[in-house]
Amino acid sequence: MMDNGLLLAVALLALVAAGASCGCVVLLVRLRRERGQQDLLVQRMASLEASIEKASTGVGSIAQWAAAEGAAAQQRYESLARESAQMGLRVDGLRRDTADRLDKNRDVVDARLGEVRATVERQLEAIRQDNATQLDRMRQTVDEKLSRTLNDRLSTSFREVSKQLEAVYTGLGDMRSIAAGVGDLKRVLSNVKTRGILGEVQLGAILADILTPEQYAQNVATKPGSADRVEFAVKLPQEGAEPIWLPIDSKFPGDAYEHLRDAVEAGDAAAVESARRVLEQRIKLEAKDISSKYLSVPATTNFAILFLPFEGLYAEVVDRSGLIETLQRDYQVSVAGPSTMAVILNSLQMSYQTFAFQKRADEIQRVLAAVKAEFPKYQAELRRALKQIETAGKTVDGIINTRTNVIERKLRSVTAMEDQDEAATLLGIEEGAFGPVALLDQESARGEER
């Protein structure tokens, strides 16, 4: 390593010398080119020669230093080689010692691992056997519970199914009954006379639920001199005059309504519109019939009510644009379904109560006037009773404060009888004769005598 360093140093010095020589050559060339400056060139040449001599001297010194350093480096290298050889011997010894120890440790570890493996295998086998036993027990328990649960659920399900089948059979019987009833109802509704009776019965039931028998009548000849009788008429009282009638007649154009329903179910828009026009004409005819037969002012109101027994039919009539207004304007007839009929009758019931209150207002006024006339007498009697009570209180206070104290002082030396009933009998005193109420009664009687 030191030889290489010396060689590098010598090479550097050679390069420096070569560089100086090159510089000299360049200067000489330039000096030749510049003949006019020969003196300067001579001086520079002298300076360069001096520099070259100094460089040569430095190179010699460096060579000597490099030789000395090379010898020292050689000595250090040899020392390091000897130490390296010794270290190699030590490392070989450590390697052999480590290998021996590793072999011994490997044997010990293998032996311990074998023991641990055997112990783990024994424990795993025990755990495996215990798990197998527990799994068998759990399997038996689960099988028993599953069997019991399945049996219970199957039994419950069969019972529920049986009940539902019974309910289905019962429902089928009910459906047969309903089907028979629907058939009967259809036969009833197919008869015009029967349809009219059905509406009349329903209207009568609504009237009976809301009004009293004195507030309406059935089969009333509302038009004087006419034999036509309306199904029902509500009696509306008037102040200072005879009551008037509100005619209510039920109508059920079942055939027209049935045709409309069939058209709606078939989805035929043209047939639906045609059926609705037919129904509208039927309703107008019925309203005209009611207006001409049953309205007669002042014996009746200036309008009548056409009752439709089904909400669906009433909805069709109400939905028909302008029909309700036409009936009220041209025929003075209002249309009502079951729900609206109940609302109308309830409002009439309120008017009955208002009229009854107005009718009895004079009687109430007379009663209040009589009460007002008697009230001063009542106040005078109350004042006299209050004075009597105050007088009786003073009398009782006198008895308690004077006579009772005197009697008690006189009787202190006398031994009282133990039996109070016997004492009362001996003295001839009735029970409660000297109670507060008795004293008040006596004092009141004295006041009345005075």
Alpha-carbon gap, residue 32 to 449, rounded angstroms: 184
Same domain for 287 and 417? no
Same domain for 273 and 394? no
Provide the pLDDT for residue 56: 67
pLDDT, one tens digit per residue, over 360-418 is 666 777 777 777 777 777 777 777 877 877 777 777 676 666 766 666 666 666 666 66
Same domain for 302 and 267? yes
Q: Is residue 153 part of a domain?
A: no
Residues 41/27, Cβ–Cβ less than 8 Å: yes
Burial 265-291 (b: 16+ CB within 10 A, else e): eeeeeeebeebbebbbebbbebbebbb
Same domain for 281 and 308? yes
Same domain for 387 and 342? no
- Domain boundary among the residues 359, 393, 423 is at 359
> What is the number of domains present in the chain?
2
Same domain for 212 and 353? yes
Q: Is residue 172 part of a domain?
A: no
Same domain for 321 and 252? yes
Residues 217/247, Cβ–Cβ less than 8 Å: no
Same domain for 297 and 222? yes
Residue that the structure tokens 């009936």 belong to: 327
Instruction: Give the residue numbers spanning the domain of 409.
Output: 377-449
Alpha-carbon gap, residue 133 to 332, rounded angstroms: 97
* Burial of 257 per CB tally in 10 Å (0-12, 13-18, 19+): buried
Q: Is residue 394 part of a domain?
A: yes
Q: Is residue 128 part of a domain?
A: no
Residues 233/217, Cβ–Cβ less than 8 Å: yes
Alpha-carbon gap, residue 335 to 240, rounded angstroms: 30
Task: Provide φ and ψ at 387, rounded to 5°.
Answer: -65, -40
- Domain boundary among the residues 328, 359, 390 is at 359
Q: Is residue 207 part of a domain?
A: yes
Residues 193/165, Cβ–Cβ less than 8 Å: no
Cβ neighbours for 300, distance < 8 A, ≥ 6 positions apart: 222, 223, 233, 244, 245, 246, 247, 294
β-strands 333-336, 241-250: how paired?
unpaired
Same domain for 245 and 273? yes
Provide the pLDDT for residue 200: 85
Q: Which of 60, 63, 62, 67 has its CA nearest to residue 2? A: 67
Cα–chain-centroid distance for residue 278?
A: 50
Q: Is residue 185 part of a domain?
A: no
Q: Is residue 246 part of a domain?
A: yes
Provide the pLDDT for residue 334: 92
Alpha-carbon gap, residue 416 to 399, rounded angstroms: 21
Residues 55/23, Cβ–Cβ less than 8 Å: no
State how far the alpha carbon of 66 is from the alpha carbons of 3, 56, 69, 206, 337, in Å. Answer: 9, 15, 5, 141, 136
Same domain for 342 and 214? yes
Q: Which of 374, 362, 388, 366 has its CA nearest to residue 442? A: 388
Provide the pLDDT for residue 153: 77
Same domain for 309 and 398? no
Same domain for 249 and 338? yes
| 230: three-class secondary structure by DSSP | strand
Alpha-carbon gap, residue 236 to 349, rounded angstroms: 10
Provide the pLDDT for residue 439: 46
Provide the pLDDT for residue 20: 63
Provide the pLDDT for residue 418: 65
Residues 308/337, Cβ–Cβ less than 8 Å: yes
| 433: three-class secondary structure by DSSP | coil
List per-residue pLDDT tens for the chain, 450 residues long: 545 655 566 666 666 666 666 666 566 666 566 655 566 666 777 777 777 677 667 666 776 776 777 777 778 878 888 888 888 788 888 888 888 888 888 888 888 888 888 888 888 888 888 888 888 888 888 778 777 877 777 778 767 777 777 777 676 666 666 655 545 545 544 554 455 577 888 888 999 998 888 889 999 988 888 888 999 999 888 776 788 899 999 888 878 888 888 888 888 889 989 999 999 999 999 999 999 999 988 889 899 999 998 888 899 899 988 999 999 999 999 999 998 888 888 888 887 777 666 666 667 777 777 777 777 777 777 778 778 777 777 776 766 667 666 666 666 666 666 666 666 676 566 555 444 445 445 555 555 554
Provide the pLDDT for residue 373: 76
Q: Is residue 103 part of a domain?
A: no
